[in-house]
Amino acid sequence: MEGQLQHLFIDFEFTMPEKNKKNPDFYPEIIEAGIVVVQNGKIIEQFSSFVTPIKFSKLTDRCKSFLNITQKQVDHGIAFQQLVQKLTEYQQLGQTTVVTWGNMDMKVLRINCDKAKLKFPFTTKEIDLSMEYKRFFGDQNQTGLWKAVQEYGKEGTGKHHRALDDALTTYNIFRLVEKDKRYLEKPEPTTIGDRVDFSKFLNKFA
């Protein structure tokens, strides 16, 4: 398994401060994790769990309303330490690339590890797919995850702001972008002759 090339598609949902209430000590904490493990272009595992916040254990009304997550769900979630352990185990499955939509997931994971005095679980390449998407399509602004998938004429998987659904949607966009990249990397534009083998075509009429 060590030699496997794999991608981890990760999405986290975080705590949010109450609107218009300043708390200088506040920092976002992961309260839901969605992970899709892909090896050789195939999903080999999916993981989804709520995570209990450590510092600010009581969710704000804004957070509950925006994410549609209840206090009970996070109270019964796994400990943050267990999430870090899970991520560490995933990395050990093979040569890993971590893919997220935006840079907040890894930023918040780093902050949470630092605050909990835990070692950051990844020593691997990290891809912010939203920036790749922006560069690839020449967009002026970074596009939201579900807007991006709709621009492809597709729909997101499940519900937006559900961690596993967002991780799966990120994986789907990654596949579409990679496919388009391969198409554009062809040295010459495709001609009708590239698509149809005329000798075989004409043989039918010989």
Position 200 in a domain: no
* CATH number for the domain that contains residue 28: 3.30.420.10
Position 130 in a domain: yes
Token pair belonging to 179: 């496919």
Q: pTM of the predicted model, to two decimals?
A: 0.80
Whole-angstrom CA distances from 91 to 3, 70, 110, 129 are 12, 30, 16, 19
Model confidence pLDDT, tens digit, residues 83-134? 999 999 999 988 999 999 999 999 999 999 999 999 999 998 999 988 887 7
Is 13 among the catalytic positions?
yes
Position 108 in a domain: yes
Q: What is the DSSP letter of 19?
A: T
Position 198 in a domain: no
Of 2, 7, 13, 76, which one is the catalytic site residue? 13
Token pair belonging to 67: 């994410």
Sign of CA dihedral 140, 141, 147, 152: positive
Position 203 in a domain: no
Is 18 among the catalytic positions?
no
Q: Residue range 145-153: average pLDDT? A: 59
Cα separation, 77 vs 71, in Å, equals 10
Position 192 in a domain: no
Domain around 86: 5-186
Model confidence pLDDT, tens digit, residues 40-67? 889 999 999 999 999 999 999 999 999 9
pLDDT of 184 reads 63
Of 161, 178, 185, 188, which one is the catalytic site residue? 161
Position 150 in a domain: yes
Q: What is the mean pLDDT of the chain?
A: 83
Residues forming beta bridges with residue 95, ordered by sequence position: 5
Give the pLDDT band of residue 21 (cuts 50, 70, 90). confident
> For the chain, what is the domain count?
1
Position 22 in a domain: yes
Lowest mean pLDDT among 73-82, 132-141, 186-195: 186-195
